[in-house]
A and B are shown apart, each in its own frame.
Chain A
Amino acid sequence: EADIYQTPRYLVIGTGKKITLECSQTMGHDKMYWYQQDPGMELHLIHYSYGVNSTEKGDLSSESTVSRIRTEHFPLTLESARPSHTSQYLCASSDIGQGVDEQFFGPGTRLTVL
């Protein structure tokens, strides 16, 4: 079944740890996105990708990095987690077509850095 998967769903970790948030999709989509969302606030785009070996930074400055080695996989890595990274992280994907395409979202990862 076509879907977007994010793991872990919840993560509590100490300051300074390296973490990778996983995102995989079986939608067959080329475009993938990472958003950061604080409670009650708008979504902020932190990274996106048009396809394999393509990654771009979004409008929100982020200390995270991403990679796109396979079409279906778009992991996000924080080399050294800090309390300011505490947030919800949403992964999304969309098809490449004319205009702005519908984005399909994963369930999210709620990250807490102590």
Chain B
Amino acid sequence: AQRVTQPEKLLSVFKGAPVELKCNYSYSGSPELFWYVQYSRQRLQLLLRHISRESIKGFTADLNKGETSFHLKKPFAQEEDSAMYYCALGPLDSNYQLIWGAGTKLIIKP
């Protein structure tokens, strides 16, 4: 079954500390993977996708097919990074629909 797991519902780190939000997926084919973010009182929006290989707002995510993971990382957290983060899988044989993780709430402490 296709599934996305975000093991941490809540992650709290101090400002300036490194951040890693975990995402594991279950899918036998070649996936497209995404991180979406929802800041307080704002809409859900795309943060980054693995095929673009970009760093957005200092965040990066590397697809590890061996470990079926797509962890989101930032070396130095900032207070404005506090938000809900969702990992999503786009299996290419499923009419391009997204399968979502339950999300991780990231709190950056001053």
Contact = CB atoms under 8 A, between A and B. Distances in A.
Interface of A: 40-45, 48, 56, 58-59, 90, 92, 99-108
Given A99-B90, A100-B90, A40 B102 contact: yes
Interface of B: 4, 9, 32, 34, 43-46, 49, 51, 86, 90, 92, 95-103
A107 B43 contact: yes
Nearest to A43: B100
A99 B96 CA distance: 7
Contacts of A42: 4, 86, 100-103
A59 B97 contact: yes
A45 B95 CA distance: 12
Nearest to B46: A102
Contacts of A92: 44
Nearest to A6: B43
A100 B98 contact: yes
